[in-house]
Chains A and B, each alone.
Chain A
Amino acid sequence: MMEILTKVHAKHLVEWGRNHPEAWVLSADLTSSCEADGFRDAFPERFLSMGIAEQNMLAFAGGMARQGLIPLVHTFAVFIYRRALDQVAMSVAYPNLPVKMFGFLPGILTPGGATHQAIEDVAVMRALPNMTILEAGDATETESILEAACDIPGPVYVRQLRGEIPRLFDPKEPLKPGACRKLSEGGDFVLLTSGICTEEGMRAVAALRERGLDIAHYHVSTLKPFNHPEIVREIAASRWGAITLENHSILGGLGSILAEGMAEAGTGKPLRRLGLRDTFVHGAGRRHLMREYGLDALALTGAVEEITGKRFFIDENSLAEAYTPALHSSAKAEAL
């Protein structure tokens, strides 16, 4: 049975905040929605309410960081890179300041529809020089990504999780910037997944393994910088090549990142990118959207069938149960 944790970031932020008097939390009216309410209550003197005004918030954070403070910006991911991109670029990334941006609800993790879904944030943010991009994939990473972000000297953009989160990785193995987690071995395919898609990858790999396919599966939590010649070599030696699965557009995210690495190394193997296929998305539940847009385990097994020309007869019933959080729960402030 999978362990499910609640409000992981909220609790950890308070604990960590005690020993880091230089850390401040900035919020644009989404304090409890971004699990920063505990910090606000514990350290009101280091909490800044900025109103619904993200452009000012990001440039303001740049000013604080110039003076030696560590601003931890908390809002939904979309409101960082869409609303305040110029401010992020010129007031934070250009001067290479240690502003840590926690973007919640990455990708399709919200029924809030196109205005709330950060589906191209990795593509946009990774084009900015100096920027590091991290993404949490489970509870272990959600509770260790804060330290990881603060250990990195410059600006960091974090795709963070909230609410109820499954634990997929050993709590004694926190997120290490730059390192990938190898979740399974195999010479048929090399699969790379990130964020909430890793659980889907694990489900698909287990089912495919029962049917005789061996897949090397990596979980990627540092999207930038991404420098993994060992993975590219493994792809070159694999039978069918590489597959990526991400909670993001296939343009500019994990799939593109790997494609660039493979092309530069001259790896002549096919790459199949699974993710949002250059489309905006509507508002609906997470499980529904993952199915509709092909971000789940079945999308992955379907792609493997297409590539190999074999049928594996895998359906929802033959997969391990997936974790789907409730729309309403005490673990979050509203149904977004």
Chain B
Amino acid sequence: MGDHSARRKGRENQIDRAARAARGIRRRVLAHTLSHDGGYLSQACSSAEIFAALYTCVLNLKKIDRPLSALPFAGTPGPARPALTGAIFNGGGEPDCDNFILSPAQYALTLYAALVEVGRMDEKSMAAYNVDGSTVEMIGAEHSPGMEVTTGSLGQGISQAAGIALARRVKGETGRVILLMSDGECQSGEFWEAVQATCFHKLGNMLAYVDMNGCQCDGPMTSVMQLEPFDRRLAAFGARVRRIDGHDIKTLIRLGRAPAADVPTFVLCDTDPCRDMAVLQKRRPKFHYVRFASPEEKAEYRKFYENTFQEGL
């Protein structure tokens, strides 16, 4: 009995920790958006729990002693220069560790905030976001903190992840390839080719969380290009599919720790693009990028920030 309640308490602590990280991610991205007069804010709102669950409880990452600093940009990969990757922020490279592939690199700001929250990147590096000559790029590339491959061209992340997963299986490694995708990019033909191939080759070491916030650059997905019934389509290709509330940390963690199937697993996370940020509601139905149209609007966001996060974190 004692054992059981200790385990339950441990689980609760983990959920609390993830919830705190999710809140911190939103706070950091909003603070950044305020200080830089713009940012990918709704992506942080929809995916904060997914990032938080991944980085606190799901990803098996190498421990690092203290937060790392982002390096200045040193050059693109070439014969004289090996590719620099942001995997070091994930502790990458160990046979039992997981890869983390962020497919929509437009979510980089949220990733950086998550890295700071879990003590993998220092705060100072966050300030280098989109600064000329920095690797903390707006659309993360493989040299950016936490990025392991270059994925800003949407729909390519899953194919690259699949190649990594196959190679890791061949090498007998136990680490998984965990992917965070956005729903919009699943419109691409390449996505469906990748699903077909990963199911055919039984890449059970792949686990994809899809942030189903229903939004894309042009507006609601239902008005741009419909994906539904997405879960049934994926299942018809042979994948294992779960559809959950993407803000439910407990379930996000549970599925991230579930035993692998012999095919890839897709966790479709239905999310809200203004979750915990009521001030964003006014932008409905367009959430892709927040830029303040007037000083009044910015003041409104600043007030929201102060009211919401006054107690600090």
Contacts and interface: CB of A to CB of B under 8 A. Distances in A.
Contacts of A333: 217, 288-289
Contacts of A113: 137-141, 150, 152
B217 A288 contact: no
A205 B25 CA distance: 50
Interface stretch (A91-99, A214-222, A279-287): A279-287
A79 B156 CA distance: 12
Contacts of A115: 105, 139, 141, 150-153
Interface residues of A, number: 40
B298 to A, nearest CB: 11
B218 A282 contact: no
Contacts of B289: 333-335
Given A52-B188, A335-B130, A284 B73 contact: yes
B76 A282 contact: yes
Contacts of A279: 75-76, 78
Nearest to B140: A113
A112 B78 CA distance: 20
Interface string B188-226: 110000000000000000000000000011100001110
Contacts of A112: 138-139, 152
B220 to A, nearest CB: 11
Interface in A97-155: 111-116
Given A30-B218, A279-B76, A335-B38, A284 B141 contact: no
A280 B152 CA distance: 15
Interface string B62-79: 000000000001011110
B133 interface: yes
A27 interface: yes
A120 B17 CA distance: 47
A12 B199 CA distance: 48
Contact of A288 (B133, B150, B153, B185): B133
Interface size class of B (residues with CB under 8 A): 35 or more
Nearest to B73: A282
B273 interface: no
Nearest to A27: B218
Nearest to A31: B218
B264 to A, nearest CB: 21
B52 to A, nearest CB: 25
Contacts of B139: 111-113, 115-116, 283, 336
B5 to A, nearest CB: 48
A50 interface: yes
Interface string A48-71: 011111111000000000000000
A49 B143 contact: no
Contact of B155 (A50, A52, A111): A52
Interface string B12-40: 00000000000000000000000011100
A171 B187 CA distance: 41
B151 A52 contact: no
Nearest to A282: B73
A194 interface: no
Contacts of A33: 217
A112 B151 CA distance: 11
A233 to B, nearest CB: 39
Judged by DSSP, the binding face of A is loop
B293 A282 contact: no
Interface in B107-132: 130, 132
B154 interface: yes
Contacts of B291: 328, 330, 334-335
A328 B141 contact: no
Contacts of A292: 133
B133 to A, nearest CB: 6
Interface in B130-188: 130, 132-135, 137-141, 143, 150-155, 184-185, 187-188
A333 B287 CA distance: 11
A29 interface: yes
A282 B137 CA distance: 8
Contact of A49 (B37, B73, B78, B223): B223
A33 B286 CA distance: 13
A281 B78 CA distance: 12
A334 B137 contact: no
Contacts of B152: 112-116
B132 A288 contact: yes
Nearest to A83: B153
A333 B185 CA distance: 19
A51 B189 CA distance: 10
Given A29-B184, A111-B138, A113-B152, 8 more contacts: A49-B223, A49-B225, A51-B188, A52-B188, A53-B225, A279-B75, A284-B137, A328-B37
Interface of B: 36-38, 73, 75-78, 105, 130, 132-135, 137-141, 143, 150-155, 184-185, 187-189, 216-218, 223-225, 288-289, 291, 293
24 contacts: A29-B184, A29-B225, A49-B223, A52-B187, A52-B225, A112-B139, A113-B150, A114-B141, A116-B139, A116-B152, A116-B153, A279-B76, A280-B76, A281-B76, A282-B73, A282-B141, A283-B138, A283-B139, A283-B141, A288-B133, A333-B288, A334-B217, A334-B289, A335-B291
Interface of A: 27, 29-33, 49-56, 78-79, 82-83, 111-116, 279-285, 288, 292, 327-328, 330, 333-336
